[in-house]
Amino acid sequence: MLTVPRTICLGFLAVITVGTLLLCLPWSTSNGQWNPFIVALFTATSAVCVTGHIIVDTATHFSPFGQLVILLLIQVGGLGYMTATTFLIILLGRKFNLRQKIAVQQALDRRGMQGARQLVRSILGLTFLFELTGAFLLWLIFRQDYSDPRALWLAVFHSISAWNNAGFSLFSDNLMGYQTSVPLNLVISLLIILGGIGYEVIFEFYLWLREHLRHWGKPAYLIRKASQMTFSLNFKIVTSTTAILLILGTVMLFLTEMRSPERFGLFSFEQKLLLAWFQSVTARTAGFNTVNIGEFNNGGLFIMIALMFIGGSPGGTAGGIKTTTLRILAGITKSALQGKEVVLLYRRQVPPSLIMKAVAVAFGSMFTVLVSTTLIAIADPEENFINILFETVSAFATVGLSTGITSGLSVFSKLVLIVTMYAGRVGILLLMAAIIGDPQPSNVQYPEENLLVG
């Protein structure tokens, strides 16, 4: 039976298949020869899963046509299969049926099914608005070094790649050539953060801002009424956790890496902070880099592994277990230490169903990373373990950062990374639901019994 989870998972596979076939064509390569199948499959999967992992140089290996295919795959993958499909339905003027509404609901992790059509329109409008704005700002930066047509193509490609947290770059050294450029670091960072923070958070902030501006200059009681508009629990958790992780990641990376006189002795204090900030941002599943990740010590790599595994926020283009899952797990730990039987976040009780979902996501994600790391370590025993772990977490969290070992891995290891990227993009719970089918509710009650924990 073709259930909604299976529809979404098969949809991603279909897009990956089409992308692989297009990237295999001689027109997609710069030398005009047929692309090796493993290269095309790996690149297409990485693009659709908005990961950014590469085994060939995107700037030199692929032709302009191939780069355009990659860009389209990134856009479809970032929007999500169901959002892209819904967009086509809207363009064709067809009506939504119940199945499509349910699919959009599950793909965007929403509780209700009403307003699906308007929601998709809003998401598309928001996506194109930020991508166009980012492209314009990046064009102003790139046109200082390139001709206007080339600068425009670079700007569009990197804007879409940044907003969708893909990490693909048309520079052979990624963004290392602009590592001290404050404007470029700022624009790319904002696109990454806003793209990964979730559409609902941006919409909620927009409504809050619009309400305040509407009552600007009006009587005090109207202003006071507007100020009483409170943010949702999701907004509070996502924004606060994102800010904490960005600041903490910057400080930790600065202390472990940027203070190294051997690698970063030529940079000023402000430039080192900028480098640490950008790596902290991009580790949240974006995949760009302004320094050589392969030169990081184990401490720096482990910090980035933790940031990658957490990832972005629900409803956005980022991967990982998500910020909300992290906060729920932290809330569970806090409640257990305090002897409480409920989880409270901002004076709101978290439903047991969400607690179980958070635990399942965390356990399933760790299990996937464990299996992938083990398989690659067996297939490529000569590689450093921390580099393999970095590679698998980067693939699962759809980050794309690498210590430089990706292209040298065996074909089997590359296939493992392909499966890992796919699992990370569609989501562990959705993938399991597609494999084993939708869970059937049961009214059977079983007796409780205690056991030792901890």
Count up the domains in the chain and report the number. 1
For residue 401, report the phi and psi dihedrals to the nearest 5 degrees: -65, 150
Tell me the pLDDT of the chain (454 aa) as tens digits. Answer: 677 778 778 888 989 999 999 999 999 999 999 999 999 999 999 999 989 899 999 999 999 999 999 999 999 888 875 565 555 555 445 555 555 555 555 555 555 545 566 777 788 888 899 999 999 999 999 999 999 999 999 999 999 999 999 989 999 999 999 999 999 999 999 999 999 898 888 988 888 888 777 766 566 555 555 455 578 899 999 999 999 999 999 999 999 988 777 778 788 999 999 999 999 999 988 889 999 998 899 999 999 999 999 998 887 788 899 999 999 999 999 999 998 889 999 989 999 989 999 999 999 999 999 999 999 999 999 999 999 999 999 999 999 899 999 999 999 999 999 999 999 988 888 888 888 876 666 678 888 888 887 7
Contacts of residue 438, defined as CB under 8 A and 6 or more positions apart, other chains included, come to 3, 5
Q: How much is the pLDDT for 1?
A: 66
Q: How much is the pLDDT for 96?
A: 53
Q: How much is the pLDDT for 307?
A: 95
Give a yes or no: residue 338 inside a domain.
Answer: no
Measured over the CA atoms of residue 229, residue 324, residue 167 and residue 42, the dihedral's sign is: negative
Q: How much is the pLDDT for 92?
A: 46
Q: What pTM, to 2 d.p., does this model score?
A: 0.89
Give a yes or no: residue 36 inside a domain.
Answer: yes
Give a yes or no: residue 73 inside a domain.
Answer: yes
Q: Give the domain extent around 10.
A: 4-309
Q: How much is the pLDDT for 28?
A: 96
Give a yes or no: residue 17 inside a domain.
Answer: yes
Measured over the CA atoms of residue 114, residue 118, residue 122 and residue 124, the dihedral's sign is: positive
Q: How much is the pLDDT for 449?
A: 84
Give a yes or no: residue 219 inside a domain.
Answer: yes
Give a yes or no: residue 395 inside a domain.
Answer: no
Three-class HEC string of the chain: CCCHHHHHHHHHHHHHHHHHHHHHCHHHECCCCCCCHHHHHHHHHHHHCCCCCCCCCHHHHECHHHHHHHHHHHHHHHHCHHHHHHHHHHHHCCCCCHHHHHHHHHHCCCCCCCCHHHHHHHHHHHHHHHHHHHHHHHHHHHCCCCCHHHHHHHHHHHHHHHHCCCCCCCCCCCCHHHCCCHHHHHHHHHHHHHHHCCHHHHHHHHHHHHHHHHCCCCCHHHHHHHHCCCCCHHHHHHHHHHHHHHHHHHHHHHHHHHCCHHHHCCCCHHHHHHHHHHHHHHCCCCCCCCCCHHHCCHHHHHHHHHHHHHCCCCCCCCCCCCHHHHHHHHHHHHHHHCCCCCCEECCEECCHHHHHHHHHHHHHHHHHHHHHHHHHHHHCCCCCHHHHHHHHHHHHCCCCCCCCCHHHCCHHHHHHHHHHHHHHHHCHHHHHHHHHCCCCCCCCCCCCCCCCCC
Give a yes or no: residue 107 inside a domain.
Answer: yes
Give a yes or no: residue 350 inside a domain.
Answer: no
